[in-house]
Amino acid sequence: MSDPAPAEPRRGIPVALIAWGAVALAIIAGVSWAVASGAITWSMAVDAKEAAAAFVSGYALFAYTCYILLFVVMAVALFPAQLWIIVFGAMLFGFWPALLVSWFAAVLSAMVVFVAARGALAGSYRARAGKYLARVEAEFKRDQLSWMLAMRFIPVVPYCISNVAPAFLGARPAPFLIATIIGVIPYVGAYTFAGDRAAAVLDRDTPPDVASLAADMLPVMLAIAALPLLAVAVRRFRPSSRKP
């Protein structure tokens, strides 16, 4: 008598998505309370942005170095906040400088984590990534490069795990580096755009109304929402990666 087929895994709302949703709601509630109570005013936010911009202008190299180091440290700690760091980086540096420094920081931090996952931090990282490895292993073996590209765009695993999983699945450093150099461009661009638009809102003399704020942020939301479509295109136009 043959063994029964393994049961399909239950699909539900990812825990990470629930956690980020709770964090987002908490931030919205906290900011709303602070604004309503007068603890935060529009002029305070504008002044803080101008002070930060003045510091960056006077100590650009130091600011860029600290930003890159923060990005790397958070990546090594597998702390899932790099995307939000990109937003704040764009608010501080402006679109093009932030785009370049965030791209470099993303590539550098990914390689540091990849090397650490194959060495000193292998045990710790495997404990964190173990539950995701079986989920992606079969697809990964079909075509390393296209799957590593796709993993950057589709939330099959959390972004911080996408730097770790390839190290345990046998990825070679060169394909990982190529996939990272190419794969981080869309999300770095999208989140840099988001931060640049947020900075533009703070450049106004008065708080925007709901309609103008929605008009400003709609392109941002569309850019971020389009990221998963890139992964679909990557995999669709690489038929050789599919087994008959």
Lowest mean pLDDT across 97-106, 147-156, 174-183: 147-156
Residue 87, in any domain of the structure: yes
Residues 6+ apart with CB under 8 A from 189: 99, 223
Question: For 88-126, how does the pLDDT look when each residue is reduced to its tens digit (9 = 90+)?
Answer: 999 999 999 999 999 999 999 999 999 999 988 999 898
Residue 230 above 90 pLDDT? no
Please check whether residue 16 is in contact with residue 80, taking contact to mean a CB–CB distance below 8 angstroms: yes
Query: How many domains does one find in the chain?
Result: 1
Q: How confident is the model at residue 223 (pLDDT cuts 50, 70, 90)?
A: low
Residue 4, in any domain of the structure: no
- Give the mean model confidence (pLDDT) for residues 131-158: 76
Higher pLDDT, 220 or 182: 182
Residue 10, in any domain of the structure: no
Reading the block at residue 79, the tokens are 């702390």
* Closest to 198 measured CA to CA, from 70, 62, 45, 51: 45
Residue 47, in any domain of the structure: yes
How does the average pLDDT of the chain come out, rounded? Answer: 79
Q: Which domain holds residue 188?
A: 42-241
- Give the mean model confidence (pLDDT) for residues 128-148: 80
Please check whether residue 136 is in contact with residue 169, taking contact to mean a CB–CB distance below 8 angstroms: yes
pLDDT of res. 211: 66
**SS3 for 177-197, per residue?**
HHHHHHHHHHHHHHHHHHHHH
Residue 18, in any domain of the structure: no
- Please compute, for residue 30, the number of CA atoms within 13 A of its CA located in the half-sphere on the CB side: 6
Distance of alpha carbon 30 from alpha carbon 228, whole angstroms: 30
